[in-house]
Amino acid sequence: MSTPSGSCIDENNNLIFWRTVDRLSPVEVWGDRTESDPGSHSTLDYFRIAEAAADHPAEILNQLPGVNIQMNSGQEHLIAIRSPVLTGGAGQGSFLILENGVPTRSPAFGNVNSLIEPHHEIADAIEVVRGPGSAKYGSNAVHGLINVILPAPGGGSEFRASYGTLGRWRTDMTLDEGEHWLVNLSLMKDAGWRDATGTDQQKLSLIGKYSPGEWDATVWLSAQNLEQETGGFIQGTDAYKDEDVAKTNPSPEAYRDAWSARLGARLERPLGGGTLTLLPYAHSQAMIFSQHFLPNGGVEKNAHTGGGLMARFEQDLSDTATWRLGADTDLASGYLREIQPDPFGFFPGDTRFPQGVHYDYDVDTTMLALWGELEWSLTPDFRILAGLRGENHDYDYTTSAPSGINGRFNVPANRSDSYDFVTPKLGAVWSVSDDVDLYANYARGARAPQVSDLYRLQNLQVVGEIETETLGSIEIGARGSGFAGRLVFDAAAYWMEKDHFFFRDSNGLNVTDGSTEHKGVEVSAAFDITDALSLSGNVSWSDQTYAFDRIVGSASDTILDGNAIDTAPEWLADARLDWQASDRLKLSLNVEHVGEYFTDAGNLNSYPGHTVFGARAAWEWMDNHEIWINIRNLTDERYADRADVAFGNERYFPGEPVNATVGMSRTF
């Protein structure tokens, strides 16, 4: 398959541009997919990440098909990958976040803001798998996974600095020793364009690469710290359209402070005619924040420390067959404390939100998993991949708060719980020509409950009623190239059905056993119009619906089978036009579209969607020195990053007004 000048096509026909010829595709080493795997997969390379200069992970990840990261306030966010935008336990446990192929958190201790932690600013690549992950990864890879791949020594050193018109300073540095180690540092100070929304964040990662004996070893340490003043929702119909209202902060007392640290290694050596890979890891995090999104104004503190080992063995059985066998273990211990400092009630005598301690518990968890894959080429043009994974999750819970009903809150007594599940995978790839592959894929995803699902109960719930959430996925697709390699494309259609869906309704009540259906089509392509002009982009259509009935007093919260799921846009699109105007000047224009979506489960209220333009200019004024300007929201569109209905109110996180970021970079 031929490729355009200055680019390459990775194993899944993604168009990849590289800063230097020394940078090889990291997906071959750290990724979930290999060249023979079916299923939908996208990769953002170093060049694309550096150009985006994303101050928020949404600004880079939303360039991919089927991905919709909603920015909230500061670094807060919510994730959607072939799904509605999910909150609570569903938002914590439906997406697996990896760094160098290793989970950033233990499976039962997720966080809806989990993309705060990986060092995406300096990443060599970001890999996104849409739909359930392969057999290599289990619980939480339900709707998809995001893998942030750190740079390896040997790619060169770099310094980047920028300042934005909204008062945001940013510095990224990579110091590369050249052979065995490198250090990355990112610093950001954001004054906040809304009232009382300043943010300070620091990230550090150290990577070492060595070859002791027969082993090839890569070791990394990464950490981040966040101190954030948080902006609350603005309320009222179309409040985001009023510039003065959008700048206000109804919750000036809100904040989020969080830190995390991760230590990991990849150890690889030949063994018995195959390859043994060991990935030991450890991680720790702590967070305290005000629950500005709830009317009673609670304060939550949570933390967990965990670690484990991912072991894999791969061997060629013949010229046409390869098998892989793996075993994973994860041990963790964590806690959650929630307190309501002040009295609160919607009306006199309302005792549902008592002042004082709501929850105060500790949980120890153990996860054990075995998995296997067989890759078999039946003919030179037809390959199949079959996989099977089994998992066991054990929880040991103790509470320091009195057990029983406390207003709206239900504190379980000390208990232990256990969950087991099996997830099969089966796919095929047919190379119909030298340039085009067709693929089909069946995968089953599952997630054991989050700790907060199991033990942060409400008064209408029954202790022990939560079940394992499962999702069955079928997809077909085509990928390849055309026009002498000037066109690269990937198109996929999928259908998914989810059972035992655990989510929180707009009144903050937990729903424990929902069902949903998801179907859609995703198309991405890149085309070199001329040697200097290229067009790339994607469009995603989805139909995501509830598949059960829930009749409640509020029409806005009443769910009927067939209702559209709230916060699930039917259309998502992203496009980019790049012009290499000269050897040293590059100009780009981009557009992002989010379609209309309902903001409540009853489908009574909706957000009309938005289209936001951006532009970039970069000038290499001398070798290895570049200055650039990124303009976001070029037309100063009044839009909302997030819109929903909660506690009877229409709420919005307003999108940023037009702003420009000027930066410079130097490589050496």
CB contact at 8 A, 72 and 78: yes
Identify the pLDDT of residue 110: 94
- Residue 540 belongs to domain with CATH number: 2.40.170.20
Which phi and psi (to 5°) does residue 202 adopt? -130, 140
For 653-667, what is the HEC assignment? Answer: EECCCCEEEEEEEEE
Identify the pLDDT of residue 33: 67
pLDDT at 31 exceeding the cut of 80: no
Q: Is residue 414 part of a domain?
A: yes
What is the residue-wise DSSP string for 126-184?
EEEEESS--TT--TT-SSEEEEEEPPPTTS--EEEEEEETTTEEEEEEEEE-SSSEEEE
Identify the pLDDT of residue 89: 86
Parallel/antiparallel/unpaired status of strands 487-504 and 510-528: antiparallel
Q: How far apart are CA 532 and CA 347, in angstroms?
A: 65
Rg (CA), the chain: 24
Q: Is residue 113 part of a domain?
A: yes
> Helix or strand or coil: residue 27?
helix
CB contact at 8 A, 586 and 621: no
The CA-to-CA distance between both ends of the chain, in Å, stands at 33
Share of the chain above pLDDT 70, in %: 95
244's CB contacts (< 8 A; 6+ apart) are none
- The helix, strand and coil proportions of the chain, stated in percent and rounded to the nearest 5, come to 5, 55, 40
Identify the pLDDT of residue 578: 97
- Name which of 654, 658, 631, 660 is nearest 195 in CA terms: 654
pLDDT tens profile 448-494: 999 999 999 999 889 999 999 999 999 999 999 999 999 999 999 99
pLDDT at 7 exceeding the cut of 70: no
CB contact at 8 A, 255 and 229: yes
Which phi and psi (to 5°) does residue 284 adopt? -150, 145
> Helix or strand or coil: residue 112?
coil
Identify the pLDDT of residue 88: 87
- Name which of 278, 164, 261, 268 is nearest 213 in CA terms: 268
Number of domains in the chain: 1
The predicted model gives 184-204 an average pLDDT of: 97
With cut-offs at 50, 70 and 90, classify the pLDDT of residue 24: very low
Q: Is residue 491 part of a domain?
A: yes
The predicted model gives 184-209 an average pLDDT of: 97
In this structure, is the dihedral angle defined by the CA atoms of residues 437, 441, 104 and 279, taken in order, positive or negative?
negative
With cut-offs at 50, 70 and 90, classify the pLDDT of residue 360: very high
pLDDT tens profile 87-120: 988 899 999 999 999 999 999 999 999 999 999 9
Identify the pLDDT of residue 134: 84
Parallel/antiparallel/unpaired status of strands 585-594 and 610-622: antiparallel
Beta carbons within 10 angstroms of residue 92's beta carbon: 25
The single residue listed with the structure tokens 């290999």 is 34
Q: Is residue 2 part of a domain?
A: no
β-sheet bridge partners, residue 356: 340
Q: Is residue 1 part of a domain?
A: no
Share of the chain above pLDDT 90, in %: 87
pLDDT tens profile 526-574: 999 999 999 999 999 999 999 999 998 788 889 999 999 999 999 999 9
pLDDT tens profile 35-79: 557 889 899 999 999 999 999 999 999 999 999 999 999 999 999
Residue 392: domain span = 8-667
Q: How far apart are CA 473 and CA 81, in angstroms?
A: 13
pLDDT at 432 exceeding the cut of 50: yes
pLDDT tens profile 131-157: 998 899 888 999 999 999 999 999 899
The predicted model gives 228-238 an average pLDDT of: 96
The single residue listed with the structure tokens 């795997």 is 37
Identify the pLDDT of residue 96: 95
Beta carbons within 10 angstroms of residue 164's beta carbon: 21
With cut-offs at 50, 70 and 90, classify the pLDDT of residue 19: very low
On average, the pLDDT of the chain sits at: 93
Q: Is residue 593 part of a domain?
A: yes
Identify the pLDDT of residue 29: 61
Per-residue burial over 223-262, b = 16 or more CB atoms within 10 Å of its CB, e = otherwise:
bbebebbbbbbbeeeebbeeeebbbbbebbebbbebbbbb
pLDDT at 521 exceeding the cut of 80: yes
Q: Is residue 362 part of a domain?
A: yes
pLDDT tens profile 240-253: 999 999 999 999 99
Q: Is residue 66 part of a domain?
A: yes
CB contact at 8 A, 172 and 182: no
> Helix or strand or coil: residue 47?
helix
